Structure 1
Amino acid sequence: MAIKHAETPEVLREAVAGGGVVLADYGAAWCPPCRNLLPILDELARDYGDTVTVVKIDCDEQPELAAEAGVMSMPTVIIYKGGQPVDKLVGLSPKSVYTGVLSRHLA
């Protein structure tokens, strides 16, 4: 499945309300670690297909979503399951960290 871009707050809210596992990446275009995370997100979206919804939120374009999520540093990845946040990763991590967290919530 392709990465969804939260061009409006409803994109993220609808994905989370769906009740499945959602990986939400809060970042910005000017942020170097955020840019380094993009290929990892592409791989995760491809690897997990319809099992995990990957949503990218630009904190500059959607500051209200970042504030609601308590984002203080970028990139911040929040995993939602059943409509609730269940994990938060701050900063850039290797792909294995993201797959480990997702595997735990998909089990």
Structure 2
Amino acid sequence: PQQTVMWYDVRGDQIMMNTTADRIKRGNIQRDPRVSICIEEGYKYVTLRGVVAEIIDEPEAALNDILSLAVRYNPGTTPADHTQFLGQARQTLLIRIDRVLSNGLGG
């Protein structure tokens, strides 16, 4: 099992995350697409379990996704403020949620 702190967003009924193609998590996901996501707020949390349903390798789409996440997690910035992602081989992960466990955060 691997744990990684990652940015996420909701896309329809899936969770969207983004990573670089050379990360260990990519190989782990190809071997076993099951994932678990924990979102916490102090002692409250929601855990989502599911599978990576799709990996988007299209460079422009993956770059747009990481820029969207960067703006979401850095309020007051714009995509132009996040040039560190330009030129990276990025991939978007779309995760289908199969189970929700919650303690105080809904679900």
Query: Higher Cα Rg: structure 1 or 2?
Result: 2
The structure in which a higher percent of residues are strand is 2
TM over 0.5: no
TM-score normalised to structure 1 length = 0.33
TM-score normalised to structure 2 length = 0.33
The structure in which a higher percent of residues are helix is 1
